Structure 1
């Protein structure tokens, strides 16, 4: 059993995922979410990039010291629990996900432009008039904001090998973004 504030990596933890228990204090602002994300990121030797607030959680992208996108995490607003985002970050991330590999990987077969095209086609097939933003490259996949009239509504990801699309339905409604 882990104590409060512990962070674990290993085969016994939810498929080898990173997770950090919060202190039980609600997280209500982007600055508080960034502070939680900073603690989590520092344990991995990473730093926090964009932080977003949604109605159901806070989202943060983590970057390597050189500025490359590394993974995506969620901060639970109820208690500050922080962990690798479920979905693409767990399943498709070749460096920080469940299927992380120790050997060098082949280059992605899907380019950022192809990922954007696939994501847009996926949205078009479902109707609703949403468009996609730029494709941010994480190890093994891309994440894109979904937009309505140029304003963020959510996000989705595209697998860099297969082109499969995964909608981030767990966030709820978009509230705000903080970039540093």
Structure 2
């Protein structure tokens, strides 16, 4: 999907399970954070959510969707070529217990706190030897997402499962370009 190409496991704006996982592109190129935010909002409105942080990477755009109360709900990718929006593959699709493919499959309280998720993420980054630092853990249903930082600036993202502590590096984004908070 990112960069206008579809591949195994990518949805290219297609709908799954009654349309809750994507919004088809409108044929308009997305060339700015504002345009990405607008496309993210078109999808978020269908779920009763709003767009939070929006980021641009070399391979496309990312947006965080939040509840009216400001809690993390899910994460989406916006295709710069078509304007298609889909739930981000990886943790947002597989671990999200509120909006993912296995919604409500896990019951009970999370076993990993935000602080523990940051510690787990940092240990994982240290083992990779890339000199990156784990940012603050943003909570989503069933997992946390963190920016990976170099010299205090975002360079990528990763997630930590709130039940198992498993780590998922968001390798699909490519190089970080820019971002905006709401």
User: TM-score under structure 1 normalisation?
Assistant: 0.90
2-structure distance, mates of 1:82, 1:34: 11
Give the counterpart of 2:176 among 168, 174, 180.
174
Q: Which runs of 5+ in 2 are unaligned?
A: 1-12
Which string of whole-angstrom CA distances, capped at 9 and with x for unpartnered residues, describes residues 50-83 of structure 1? Answer: 0000000100000111111100000001111101
Give the counterpart of 2:84 among 78, 81, 85.
81
- Root-mean-square deviation (CA, aligned residues, Å) is 1.7
Shift in Å at residue 24 of structure 1?
A: 1.6
**Could you say if the C-alpha distance between residues 87 and 49 of structure 1 is closer, same or farther in structure 2, counting changes exceeding 3 Å?**
same
Aligned: 1:94 with 2:97: yes
Equivalent residue runs for 1:63-82 within 5 Å: 63-82=66-85
The equivalent of 1:144 in structure 2 is: 146
Give the counterpart of 2:122 among 116, 120, 123.
120
Shift in Å at residue 8 of structure 1?
A: 4.2
Which string of whole-angstrom CA distances, capped at 9 and with x for unpartnered residues, describes residues 63-104 of structure 1? Answer: 11111110000000111110100000000000000101278x
The equivalent of 1:3 in structure 2 is: none
Where has structure 1 moved over 6 Å in runs of 4 or more? none
Give the counterpart of 1:20 among 18, 23, 28.
23
CA contact 2:26–2:83 (8 Å) conserved in 1 = yes
Secondary structure of 2:130's counterpart equals coil
User: TM-score under structure 2 normalisation?
Assistant: 0.89
2-structure distance, mates of 1:25, 1:94: 32
